[in-house]
Every structure is written in structure tokens, then in C-alpha cells.
Structure 1
Amino acid sequence: MFLKMVKNDFIRNKIATLAVFVFITLAVILAASSINNIANLIQSMKELQERAVPADITQMHSGEFDQLEIDRFTEGQRKNIAMQETMVLLTFDGSNIEFGENQTMADTVQDISFVVQNQQFDFILDLNNKKLAIKEGEVAVPIYFMQQYDLKIGETITVKNGNYKKSFVISDFARDYEMNSSLTSSKRFVLNQADYDEMRRMRAGELEYLIQFKLNENGDAQTVQTAYIEAGLPANGPTVGGKIFLLFNALSDTAVAMVIILISILLIIIASLCIRLTFLATIDEDLREIGVMKAIGISKKDIKKVYLNKYRVMSVIAGILGYLLSFATVNLFNSNMKLYLSSDLSGNLKYVLSLIAPIFVYFMIVMYCKKVLKRMDKISAVEAIRSDIMERGKNRKYRFSLLKNKVLSTNIYMGLRDVWKRFKIYRLLLFIFIVCTFIVILPLTMYNTMNSPTFSTYMGIGKSDMRIDLRRTDRITADFNKLQEELKNDSDIGKYAAYITSSYQIKNAEGSWDYINIETGDFSVFPLKYLEGRAPESEGEISLSYANASKDELNKKIGDQVTVKAGGTEKNLIVTGIYQDITNGGKTAKADTSFGINKDAVLWYIVSIDLIEGVDIPSKMAYYQNTYDSAQVNDIKEYTQQTLGNIIDQMSTIVVGAIIIAVIISVLITSLFLRMLLSKDMSQIAIMRCVGLTSKHICQQYMAGTMLVLVLGIIFGVIASNYLGELLVNMAMSSMGAAKIELVNIVWQTWLLCPLALIAIVGMTIYISCRIAIKEDLSVILRR
């Protein structure tokens, strides 16, 4: 009997059942997809680490050094160090790399190096995660450049510098654990030993070194780093720990998974509210039947079982369907993972972990159903048989009587008045519209924020029109001085500021020495937004990045002292400000020009430029790019997009998915809500039609009320995405070095395009739903 009743309920409430089923399925699909994504990430990262055997400590160095000193140091640290290997890099400017039809890589913000495969660890892999073995005349190109320039296997690239010129056939694409991510500023091309030896013999590129250490299982990285500094070994470049490479590799896919999980949680909430709406409508229709069942002695438990079984069956079917579909859906989000981490994601871990999603959703839905069904306990058999509706309580006096309306048309006024009278019912719909708006606006504002020129301030860079990076060459200092002189005399330049980044030693919270990159210059020209304090303005002052100032690192606040050592001389500096920076692992610092530079450890030169109004920025960029071969010229937007390319691409996919989900939610929930409301009001609608109101007039009333709720939902949804969304983004980004990101709202998108699209979709849904329900035969309604 119970199965028959459940079956009949399915047939009778097709729209409501379909809506609930769709939301449960969507929730399971997204939740399982995100868990699947995380499981794939764990599996692929583990496989990549095992195959690549990355270094635990990498010291980048430019300049002369003695390998024998490194060998002696390694032998003295055998307690901690298992292996040591020094990779020699031949670095080139992008303008020296040609491909296609006279195209070059001059526009890249990445440092380009040519290397040979390591012998012991830090292996560079192919797309099958096998150790690259390159034949003579061939080259393996980093995945980053494959994407950026749409390169294919079999195409050629030509490397030229001075008297050297040679073409190489692209035989593979390099999956490089340490330099995969766009957040790392260097990329490695892999050559055959013979080609590399010829390139080095002809001095085609500038020499740089990666002095790498692989630690024992219980090796202490901090002990090794401190001992390395105290030994005065080569350190003209940043020091990078293995955890930073892990973070950079996992970052974009983790961010995607977190956003999907957030959306799936919201869908579970919506599914629960959808069930609530369905229960209210169904119980309202079945009130007399419930009274009869109670009167003939059927227990409350058995009556609840009739309704509960329906959602148990639905949750199981939706859970299985969502679980199976998630394996197809996840392919929309893991293309980046397949490219950069592992082409084979066929492990079994995802099948087990993804089961968490349907099981969790099932128990959440069943528990919520039981909670809603407790309403039946308050209904007596006599009251249920005599009542037409469940709404009981004290008579209330409502404001906004019809006689006082002097402005709006009667139908619109009655619709708006209905929202005020029955706001307890409409508040569910309001919440749904807030969630729909939130789901669309938050990913959209995140995408716009990352594409905004102001995002550079979260990368420790002041906002400017152009940025010129000078690469390390023999004439870099001369070029830097010449560039500043030319900028001073260029009438198109509004303002400019030069910055020099050098490596220094700094005393950490434990009293031992670490390396730190300090940028010196005049930071008042292109100011940053500081979380606390201000920029350094005189000698003896320093500002720290948020990550560097945190408790896990230097543990410093405004007014504290830090001790910096350069050339054997220690200086005590006062912390004047804390800023945000997501580059270089978020660990940077800034000092005024008066602080001086560490000439023995200069890492790079940067010049930021603003042009006067009316000057063509691309033309000016092209001029300086052609004039200075060793320079990399970009506008700030391009620099940001290249650095955050993977994350921005993935976020654009999420924006499209969020819009589709919001549309589905809006249509189904609006249909379901109006079904419930029209079912409750059917007698009242029949009376209105009897006294002469047309279907159009009645439809206008419901249209006005629902549209009012939609507009309020859009307003609150945008506000929630701006404030709550910003809070969530800041919580996620704080681990990267940005604790306070201000989301960028493009007004015509946030307050015009998205709201108008939602209004059009919901308006059409209301019109169709009302038209179908209100045209029902009056004689049937009045006989009920």
C-alpha cells in the first residue's frame, strides 16, 4: 500500500518531484566532482613527485662559484643531505627564440633557460610522466609555452644569439615539477647533451645555476639552509623550498575544487528548501487524507513513512545518477591537471572518495525531511478533516489596504501586498534568489578582479601603464642606466620609477639566518595599498610582505626591528608597513633607495612607467622592446594574465558553469514555488475569476509579487557576494600572501546585465506557470 501511495505521489507531483530530483542530482554531481578533483590532485601530485624526484632545497645563483666548496659542504651535512646536484642553465631573452612565421617569444614574462636532464633527481618529464630523453637536434618545450603559443610536436623553434643560430624540432613537451606553474618566473627547455655543449661552447646564453639538495627522509631543511648561509656559499639568487613548488602546482586545481564545493553546498541547501516547498504544498493538498488516516488508527510514524519513502527513493536514485555523471563532469575541470600534472587519472582513489558525496547528501536530505515532517504531529484528526489549509493562528490586521492605493494599478498593488501579508512563505523564494545571484556574481567578480590592472597591487607591484624587466646579461647595469636616462628625456613619459631587487640575509624568529629578497626604490611614485602602516621613506626603514611578517616566518609587526646583513655588515631596520604579495611564495620586502643595494647579489631590475594621456601604449612598448634586447616590456594587465593564466582560465569555466546552474535553479524553483502558491490559492483564484478578473489580471498579481522578491534577492545577493564573498576569497588567498583582496565589480555586469538576464528568465517562468495553472476549469476548482 505504501509503495502504491508513493508511486501515486510521484505521478501527481511531477514538476515538484522533478525539481527536487534535479537539485539533489546537481548537488551530488558537483560535490562528487570536487571530491573527484581533489582525489585526482592527490594521486597526480603523488605520481609526479615520485617520478620527478624534486629537490627539497633549490638555491638559484648567478655568477662564479666553486663546485668543490658545494661538494665539501654536502659531505659535512650527510646527516641531512642525501644527494646534491648543480644544474647549469643557459638563459635567453624571449626575443632570441623564434617559431612559426617570424614569431618570437619576446612578449613572455618568463625567464627562458636551456638545460640537459639531471642525473640524480629533479627530473623533467614528458606528458606520460616519463623521464625525458632528447635526441640531437630536438627540444622539449615547457607546457606553459605550448599553451601560450599553440606549439605542436614536429614544429621547429630557432635559437639565435650573436654568432649562434640553430633550429630544433619539438619532440616533446616538458612537464617540469619545479617550474610548471605560471607563478614561477622561469621555464626550462630540455636539449640533448651534444646540442647543449655546442650552445655553451659558443657562449650563446648567460650562465645561471640551480644548486639543489635532496634531503634524507629525516633531514632538516632549516638546518641545511642556515649552515649554507653561514658557510658563505654562492647565493646570488632566491632560495626556494620544495613546499613552494608543491603549493604552486596544486594551487589552481585546489581553488577550482573549493569553488565547486561551495556551489554544491548551496545546492544542497536549495534542495532542502525545495523539499520544504514540496512538503507544504503536498501536505496542504493531502490534509483531509492525513486526517482520515489518523482517524482510522494509522500511526504518525507510518503516515510520515509514506512521505519520507518518496525522498529516500529519490535521494538514492539521484545519488547514484549524480555519482555516475560526476565522472563525466569532472573532465570539464581537470583539463589543467591532465596537462600539468598527470595525463593518466585512472586511479581507484577517486571512486572511493567520491562516494562520500551521495552518502552525505542522502543523510542530509533524509534528516531534513524528518525535521519538516514533525509539522504533522501538530495536526489533529478532527482539525485536518475540517480544515482546508494548514495556516492557523491569530487573526492579523494588515497594512496597505486597497482603498489607500493611489499610485499603482490594482493588480500590481495586490501582488505587492500579498508579499507583505505572506512574507513567511515568500522568504524561501527570496533566499533562493539571493543564492542564485551569489552563485553568478562571486565567480564573475573573482574573474574580473584577476583581470583587473589593480590586481598587480596584490603581487607587490604598484599600478602603472608599463613595466620593463631587465634580464641578467653582461651589459644589464649599463642598459639599466641608459634606460633611466632615456626615460628622463622622453616627453611621452608622465612618470617612472626604477626598482632593484637584491638578495640579503635576514635574522629569523629563531635567531638564525635566512635569505630575503629586498626591492629598493621610491615607492611613493607607484604606491601600494598597505594592510598596515606605510611604505619605507628613508634609510633604516623596511616594509614586509604579509607572508614574511606572519607568525610562521619573521613574526613582525609595525614598529618592530629586523636585522639584515649584506657584505658582512648588519643593519637594524624598523618595519613601517605590511603589504600583500602573492609572488615568490609571498615572501618579499621593500626598502627605500637610501638603503642601498647588495651589488654582489642583484637579482633583477624593474622600471614602472606611466605615459601621459593620449600616448599609444602598445607603440611605446614596442619601441622600448626593440631598443633594449635584454628588456621584457609588458603592460600590467598582460603581466598579471601571464602570471595567473591557469587560474584565470579555470575561473572563466566556473563562471559559465555558475550561470548555467543559476538559470536551472531559478526556473525550477520559481515553477515549484508558484505551483505551491497557486495550489494554496486555487479557491481564491476561482472566486476572483467569478467576479470578473481575467487570467491576465490574476497573472499580473503573481508576477508583481514574485518580481518584487526577485529584485530584493538580486540586491541582497550582490551585497552578499561583495562582502561575504570577499571574506571567503580572503580566507583562501591568505595562505598565498594576500589577506585582504577587494573584489572588482564591473557595474554594467553586476547591476545591469546579470539582473536583467535573471528578470527575463524568471519573468518568462512566472508567465508560463501562471497561465497553465489559472486556466484550469472553474467547475473543477469550485467542487473541491
Structure 2
Amino acid sequence: MTRKMIWNDLVRNRAVSLITILFISVAAMLLSLAAILTVNLFGAVDRLMADAKTPHFMQMHTGAVDMAGLENFADNNRNVADFQVIPFLNVDNTELILGGNRLTDSVQDNGFCTQSSRFDFLLDMENQPVNPQPGEVYVPVCYLRDGIVNVGDPAVLCGRTFRVAGFVRDSQMNSTLASSKRFLINEADYTRLAPFGNVEYLIEFRLHDLSKLSAFETAYSAAGLPANGPALTWPLFQMISAISDGIMIVILVLIGLLVVSVSLLCVRFTLLAKIEDDFREIGVMKAIGMRVWDIRGIYLAIYAVMAAIGSGFGFMLSLLFKDALLERIRLNLGGSGSPARELLLGGLGAGIVCLLILLYVNGCLRRFRCISAVQAIRFGAQDDSSHSSRIVRLSESRVVSCNFILGLKDVLARKRLYGTMLAVIILASFIMVVPQNLYHTISGDDFVTYIGVGNCDLRMDIQQTGQIGEKTQEIGRYMENDPEIADYALFVSKIFPVKLDRGETENLKVELGDHS
């Protein structure tokens, strides 16, 4: 009998049922996709870092390296499992041409390195360490994603021609948020290209106990070892690798929660309307002795069927679209190797939507306790006289029309019903307006000033090794000879004269513009 009632109700209200199922399906699809992407993202990051043997602590350093001091520190620190120093050759982007595309406009600091023999491996697209042959170069995977170069294309590096033999994943610098990118070349080629760039050293450590990483950082700093550059750690590598693709997941979750809210409000709207239409029948069922739970069970079963259909359909849609959304993650990081877990969590995301619908419907049906059987049978509607205001006479109104007053009275008489409709409209507008405003905010000219970069026409990042006074005078003379920027010479002269703590490399940032 219950199945027949459910079927008759769905058939009789086909349009309302289809729209409700559609909203539930979209909400389930978005949350299921977010769960699938999350498990794949973090699984791929963990697998990449495990295959590459990412260092737990890395100190970037420009200048002379005290190898004896580093070896002595590593030998005396019981937490050090392994230690190495990798040279990284920084070159100017104007010296790099990939597949006919010069990297002059690239904001990345590109450089060359050779494959490590102990840890911090650069991996191919199968997550295996790569050993290039002479004349071959393996390019960071970000340039494949951007469509700049393909396998087999020529690459002109510092005037020498190489063949792009493949692409590498870098567990440290893979993300677009990382400012540096490593090209992998043969040791003989690295020796030939060494005169064309500046060497920066990556001082790397693997630890026995990762929980003591903070203490290790403190010990390294207290030892006075080479530290002319930023220090990076394992948690930071994980965050940088995950955050760029994690933004997409956060957006999916946000939109999914908004669609869930809209779905709940749509269910509330249709349920209140249905209760209002069936008010007399509900009174008859209470009058013949049916328990409130039995009456609630009939309506709950109807929405349970719609929630189950919508959630199941949404889960199937998520499986259909997941490959397109996972393509970027798999290209950057590789596979997660956990298909069973992604199906489990994806189904869990759709199941949560179904559970929320049922809990919400069950809460809305509690109003059955307050329905009077006599009132429902006699009037066929709930008595709102206790909540109504004074009688509004149509003859008293000379400002607005009768239709407006009648409409207003209907809205005030059914505030919950129309309030639900208003909430749906507000949330739908929010879903449409927020992405557009976010785009305009990020693309605005003043956005860079909000994140700490001054409004300037030119920015120079200068690495200097002790001759800061000479460089200050050199740049000042250049600017005085250029009529367009001569007014900024005084401004630059005030920026450059700073005291260096170590007398070693110092990163100086100069911003030129209307600030002078």
C-alpha cells in the first residue's frame, strides 16, 4: 500500500518531483566529486613524495658552502638519516627556448640540475627516477600542461640545442605556486652549461623522526651553517603541492553546500505546499486513530525515495565527470592508487546529502503534532487567526490597489511558505553573483596592492654578493641617463643602502612607479 501511495504521489506531481530530484542530484554530484577529488589529491601528493623521497628539511643557499661543517653537523645529530647538497644552476629566462617559445615572459626562476643518487628524485610520468642521456633534457611538467613544448621538440638552452626527452614531476617545485622550476640534464651537459648561470645549493636532510622537525630547524640555525636563502620543510612541500588543485575542491564544496541548502529549501517549500493541500486528509487520518508517526512515515517515505533516487543519480554523474576533473591532478602529481577509497568516499558524500534531506524532512513533519483533527476536517486549513493582525478593509486603502492588499495578506498569512521561496532566490543569486565578483576582484588593478605588492611600474629582484654600494651607484647612473625614469633615481638610492647581516647574498626588491 505504501509503495502504491508513493508511486501515485510521484506521478501526480511529476514536475515538482523531477525538480526536487534534480536539485538533490546536483548537490550529491558536487559533494561526491569533492570527496573523490580530495582523496585523489592527497593520495597523489603522498605517493609522489614517497616515490621521490622528498627531503624533510631543505636550506637554499647562494655562496660558498661549508661542507666540512655540514658533514660534522649531520654526523653529530642523531635525527639525521641522510644528507646531501645538490647544485642548482639558475639561468636567465632569455636563454631558454622550448619548442620555439622563448621563456622571456615567464615568472618562474628556471634552472638546471642533475639527478640525485640518494633522495629528492625527479620523476617521469610513471613516477620513476629519470637518468637523461647527453643531449637530452627533461622539462618540468607545468610546461606540458601549458602547451609550450612536447616530447621530441628541440630546446635551446644557453645557445646549445637539446632534445626534449620527456617531462618530470618535482615533489618540491611542481606546483605553480613554487617560484622555481628544475630542468633535468646529464652531468656532462651540466658541466658545459655551468658558466652561463649562477649556482645555488640545495642543502637537504632526511630525518628519522619527523615529529622533531622543529627542533632540527632550531639546531641547524643555532649551528651557524649556510643559510643564505629560504628554508623549506616537509609540511610546506605538502601544502604547496596540494593547494593549487585544492582551491578547485574548496570551490566545489562551497557550491555543493549552497546547492544542498537550496535543495533543502525546495524540499521544505514542496512539503509545506503538500501539507497544505492534504490538510483535510491528515485530519481524517488522525480522527480515525492513526498515530502521528504512521502519518509522518507516509510523507517521509515519499521524500526518502526522491532523496535516494537523486543521491544515486548524482553519484553516477560524479563518476562520469571525475576523469575530466582528475586530469590535471594526474598530470601534475600522478595517480593516487586508491580507486576503492575514492568510490567509498564518493558514495559517502552522496549518502550525506540523502541523510540531510531525510533529517530535514523529518524535522518539518513534526508540525503534525500540532494539527487538530477537528479543525483540519472542518476548515481544511490551519487556523492562523492568533497570528493575524487587525482586519484590513479594502475600502480604506486609497494608495494601493486591492490586488496588492490581497497578495500582501496571502504572503503574511503563509509567511513560512513564501519565506522559503525568498531564501531559495537569495541563495541562487549568491551562487551566481559571488563567482563573478571574485573574478572582478582578482582581475582588478588594485588587487596586487591588497596582497602586499606596491602599485609600481617596474619591480626588480636583485641578488647581490657583497658589492651593494657599487650596484647602487651603477643603477643610479643608469636611471639618471634615462629621461623617463630619471625622477626615480633618488627613490632607488634610498632603497638600496641597507646593511647586510652576513655580507653574503641578499634579495632586494625595488619598486618603481608613482611612489617617488
TM-score by shorter chain over 0.5:
yes
Q: Matched residues in 1 for 2:393 and 2:482: separation?
A: 69
Tell me if structure 2 keeps the 8 A contact 1:498–1:605.
no
Q: Matched residues in 1 for 2:448 and 2:122: separation?
A: 31
Q: Matched residues in 2 for 1:400 and 1:155: separation?
A: 84
Tell me if structure 2 keeps the 8 A contact 1:405–1:413.
no
Return the structure number with greater relative CO, CA threshold 8 A, min gap 6.
2
How big is each residue's C-alpha offset from its partner over 1:440-484, in whole Å with a ceiling of 9 and x where there is no partner? 233333333333343334543222233233466999986664333
Ranges in structure 1 where 5+ consecutive residues have no aligned partner: 501-519, 523-592, 613-784
Tell me if structure 2 keeps the 8 A contact 1:338–1:345.
no
How big is each residue's C-alpha offset from its partner over 1:390-443, in whole Å with a ceiling of 9 and x where there is no partner? 35323533669576454x777677656755665443221221122112222333
Query: Between the two proteins, what is the percent identity of the paired residues?
Result: 32
1:154 to 145, 152, 155: 152
| Partner AA of 2:439 in structure 1 | Y
| Partner AA of 1:117 in structure 2 | Q
The residue aligned with 1:325 is 317
Q: Matched residues in 1 for 2:468 and 2:151: separation?
A: 35
The residue aligned with 1:26 is 26
The residue aligned with 1:140 is 138
Q: Matched residues in 2 for 1:444 and 1:425: separation?
A: 30
The residue aligned with 2:212 is 220
**Cα drift, residue 322 of structure 1:** 1.7
Q: Matched residues in 2 for 1:291 and 1:198: separation?
A: 92
The alignment yields a C-alpha RMSD, in angstroms, of: 3.0
Equivalent position SS for 2:184: strand
Equivalent position SS for 1:600: coil
The residue aligned with 2:108 is 110
| Partner AA of 2:40 in structure 1 | N
Q: Residues 136, 238 of structure 1: CA spacing in aligned structure 2 closer, same or farther, 3 A cutoff? A: same
Equivalent position SS for 1:220: helix
Ranges in structure 2 where 5+ consecutive residues have no aligned partner: none
How big is each residue's C-alpha offset from its partner over 1:709-743, in whole Å with a ceiling of 9 and x where there is no partner? xxxxxxxxxxxxxxxxxxxxxxxxxxxxxxxxxxx
Q: Matched residues in 2 for 1:211 and 1:599: separation?
A: 18
Equivalent position SS for 2:203: strand
The equivalences for 1:28-427 within 5 A come to 28-77=28-77, 79-101=78-100, 103-148=101-146, 150-160=148-158, 165-200=159-194, 203-217=195-209, 220-343=212-335, 347-390=339-382, 392-394=384-386, 395-397=388-390, 404-406=397-399, 419=411, 422-427=414-419
Q: Residues 365, 442 of structure 1: CA spacing in aligned structure 2 closer, same or farther, 3 A cutoff? A: same
| Partner AA of 1:597 in structure 2 | L
The equivalences for 1:569-580 within 5 A come to none
Q: Residues 122, 399 of structure 1: CA spacing in aligned structure 2 closer, same or farther, 3 A cutoff? A: farther
Tell me if structure 2 keeps the 8 A contact 1:98–1:104.
yes
**Cα drift, residue 237 of structure 1:** 1.4
Q: Matched residues in 1 for 2:143 and 2:491: separation?
A: 28
Equivalent position SS for 1:113: strand
Q: Matched residues in 1 for 2:512 and 2:80: separation?
A: 45
**Cα drift, residue 492 of structure 1:** 2.9
| Partner AA of 2:95 in structure 1 | N
Q: Matched residues in 2 for 1:441 and 1:497: separation?
A: 45
Q: Matched residues in 2 for 1:380 and 1:341: separation?
A: 63
| Partner AA of 1:603 in structure 2 | E
Tell me if structure 2 keeps the 8 A contact 1:236–1:600.
no
Tell me if structure 2 keeps the 8 A contact 1:206–1:472.
no
Q: Matched residues in 2 for 1:472 and 1:187: separation?
A: 21
The residue aligned with 2:501 is 598
Tell me if structure 1 keeps the 8 A contact 2:140–2:183.
yes
The equivalences for 1:667-706 within 5 A come to none
**Cα drift, residue 346 of structure 1:** 5.1
Q: Matched residues in 1 for 2:103 and 2:393: separation?
A: 69
Tell me if structure 1 keeps the 8 A contact 2:99–2:150.
no
How big is each residue's C-alpha offset from its partner over 1:492-525, in whole Å with a ceiling of 9 and x where there is no partner? 349659999xxxxxxxxxxxxxxxxxxx975xxx
The residue aligned with 2:15 is 15
Give the TM-score normalised by structure 1.
Answer: 0.61
Tell me if structure 1 keeps the 8 A contact 2:86–2:203.
yes
2:510 to 593, 607, 619: 607
Equivalent position SS for 1:127: coil
Tell me if structure 2 keeps the 8 A contact 1:80–1:219.
no
Equivalent position SS for 2:172: coil
Tell me how many residue pairs correspond in the alignment.
Answer: 514
Tell me if structure 1 keeps the 8 A contact 2:123–2:169.
yes
Tell me if structure 2 keeps the 8 A contact 1:34–1:261.
yes
Tell me if structure 2 keeps the 8 A contact 1:93–1:471.
no
**Cα drift, residue 23 of structure 1:** 1.6
| Partner AA of 2:89 in structure 1 | L
Q: Matched residues in 1 for 2:182 and 2:382: separation?
A: 71
Equivalent position SS for 1:350: helix
**Cα drift, residue 190 of structure 1:** 0.3
**Cα drift, residue 281 of structure 1:** 1.7
Give runs of ≥4 in structure 1 deviating > 6 Å: 472-477, 497-500
